[in-house]
Amino acid sequence: MAPTVLSTPEDYQKLVDSVDTFLLDCDGVLYHGPKVVEGVKTVLNHLRASGKKVIFVTNNATKSRRKLQEALNKLELDAQLEECFGSAYASAVYLSQVLKFPKDKKVYVFGEEGLEEELDAVGIAHSGGTDPEDRDFKPPVDYASFKPDDSVGAVLCGFDSWINYKKIAKAVTYLRSNPECKLILTNTDATYPTHGSLFPGSGSLSIPIVNATKRTPIVIGKPNTTMMDAIIADHKFDPSRALMVGDNLSTDIEFGLNSGVRTLLVMGGVTPREAVFGDNPSHVVPDLVMESFGDLAILAKDKA
């Protein structure tokens, strides 16, 4: 079944009237690199003024909500802390509210400051991460130092530009020694785009741990339903009155479809037009398509 294409003010108004919660991917929907999509600032202000809930949903695990808010507000998008929901915070919420992580356990962090800040926010103890003991590793390897730590109840893996053998070995030791220890990945993105190219992402960095332990990890980020479970646990909205807006079929749109939330694909991002309207389209079909999320700005102008 082909998606419904929205192109008129009437289409846009009908859509906005049917949605209470807008789940918005960031890069490709709100901005392209350092440039905000035309009309997006007006759209966000209009939705908020109309009583709509706006939630910025990103797989970026290096940024805490505070850092995501700062990044969005450098672009003058007036983001509020409660509107920000990255995979770092989603992981912390999933641990605390969905898994009910034990208070006497701690998380070993294979990641950076954003993960640690969000675990602190929900009161979960942690080790690893930015600890100089793990970051400042230099060979030779002292294998005798890799001993089980029974207090570690989960290993949480995100993007870690300080990746080294010691961090991998510690994570593997904790998981292999304790069958009850959870392996959680913030996301499985193989790459991430920056500086005009693609570089290894969180999913690529966690592969050594997954392979060495033969564990099936819990994956938090889009397109997994665990991310939606965390968002709903934190924001408590009706999924039938929500809309996932994104530019990526395999993450944003599949995320909404997997979670039973309507989806809107905006063009001009990573999804080529032929993947939606070509002779051999993608098997992932959004509910709705429009050229740009900024096109909704016409609704604010009509009311001005």
CA-to-CA dists, residue 288 to 2, 35, 231, 240, 292, angstroms: 9, 25, 22, 15, 12
pLDDT number for residue 303 = 66
Annotated binding site for Mg(2+): 25, 27, 247
Select which of 11, 17, 20, 27 is catalytic: 27
279 is catalytic: no
Annotated binding site: 25, 27, 222, 247
Nearest 5°: phi and psi at 95? -65, -45
Q: Per-residue pLDDT for 224 more than 60? A: yes
Single-letter amino acid, residue 85:
F
pLDDT number for residue 176 = 96
Q: Per-residue pLDDT for 71 more than 70? A: yes
User: Beta 125-128 vs 106-110: how paired, if at all?
Assistant: parallel
25 is catalytic: yes
Please name the helix (run of DSSP H) or strand (run of DSSP E) that holds residue 70, with its range, or none. helix 65-74
Strands of the sheet containing 53-58, edge to edge, are: 4-5, 288-290, 262-266, 242-246, 21-24, 53-58, 84-86
Q: Per-residue pLDDT for 38 more than 80? A: yes
Per-residue pLDDT averaged across 111-130, rounded?
96
Select which of 17, 25, 189, 302 is catalytic: 25
pLDDT number for residue 191 = 87
pLDDT band at 301 (very low <50, low <70, confident <90, very high): confident
Give me the domains of the chain, ranges plus CATH numbers: 4-59+223-303 (3.40.50.1000), 100-219 (3.40.50.1000)
